[in-house]
Chains A and B, each alone.
Chain A
Amino acid sequence: MFDFLGDYDILGAFWTTVQLAALSAVGSLVWGTILAGMRVSPVPIMRGFGTAYVNVVRNIPLTVIIFFCSIGLASTLAVNLAPQDSPTFIIDNSFRLAVLGFVAYTSTFVCESLRSGINTVPVGQAEAARALGLSFTQVLRIIVLPQAFRSVIAPLASVLIALIKNTTVASIIGVAEASLLMAEMIENESDAIILVFSVFALGFVLLTLPVGLLLGWVAKKVAVKR
């Protein structure tokens, strides 16, 4: 009864999921850190922009954002992220649009986690750094952010796990990742839907569980002892 599993490229689909998650994670970390820097900066207009961005984007459903990237940006505004003449244009374009959507959305959670991490750094540290004559960017870069990062590894791990699960949303704009393949298989093999579901459920457990365990271990290891 397991033979039909061989007819589908399950590993390939999960590989796309992993790629989506990895690229989006790196992008979200970068953009989220910049946002967090803006939100704590001494320049009011940057703080305002950071706050507005986080509060608006975080409250829009990811599905709406992903749809917007595909239908709004690509179809309506013709903002394409891949060379139009390439043979794999449609695949590349929807993949990159999905990454763009994930980064826009996930970075707000990264930003909020980091900001709570910045708040765990004792006031005296920043005061001492300022007394030594360090500027705002130096205080942030040398003293505060390194400690903040170490204290938010556990929350960032949750964000990453959420991101891995969220990559399934990319299926609604046709990115060939795990959930799209599951939908197809479940349709075709209607007498074995529980088996198909179990395979994909197990796949996601295998993807998310080690990430949680590993980062939980790292978080304990690098936690700043106070």
Chain B
Amino acid sequence: MSTHVSTQIHNSANGSIPPTVKPTVKRFRRNKKQLAALGFLSPLLILMMVLMATPILMVIGYSIYNNVITNPNPEVVGLANYGEILGNPKFWNAGKNTLFFTLTSVVVHMILGLTFAMLLNTEIISTKVRAVFRMILILPWLFTVAIVAILWRLMLNPNGVINYILETMGLISGQVEWLGNPAYALFALTFINIWAGYPFFMISLLAGLQGIPADLYEAAKVDGANPVQRFIHVTIPQLKPLIISLCLLDFIWTTQQFALIWMTTGGGPIDTTEVLSTFTYKLAFSRYEFSLASTSAVLILIASMIVAIFYARSQKSRD
């Protein structure tokens, strides 16, 4: 108690700023900083409001009408569309396929990306050799999804080179219809997506690896840690935030994959590769059920938002 009083006295005696003026100055400075931050942010905020907030409100609006776009006088039907979509087994089939496609892709992307990044980051091979390999390993990333789809349709053709190689190795017999057979199509599609997507992880993790201070490894070495221990106690903790971000981004992007499925199988055979995006697209642009398509789109949005909020929380606890 007495110490507290004495400090106060000491402060006001020292008094560079009288106590009444101090908060005003502080607030003025804070406001100025707020304004500066707002200035830096305004282009982003304007773009996001016009191009994101408005369409989302529109699609939610569409989903409560009995029909839109094709019907000039749509009527509000409340949540009836939601009941219809949620009662549709094809919607759940598409959801199940999306989940398999996405989870498998993300896990394998992460494993391949980290493995390749670490191989490319080892100092025991000359820089030039590493540069050549890095270029080759990045290649799949440099192709648009449309190109990837066409290329793999050529290679996975029953008469294509993949069947030839597998048959020569004795792994299969006969011509397998990788994309046409209901038993294999989803696996084949997932494989293509894995091939096309891992370089994003690899490049990001390589940058992450190169950002880890060498001192950390030196210190771990001095403490007698072997390479495996250095990996577990230095590399992984240092990369963890990056890995979490990458997995979430990949999860979100892979659930939204459209072009690859559209240009390889189109959701077939017999809906075995139908995912939520192709299901919704067909509802809108093949069957012209724009309200039902909007409802499906809103449900996908809600699921995506749950994942996103989950991620935002994990990020918050990290800070």
User: Do A and B assemble together?
Assistant: no
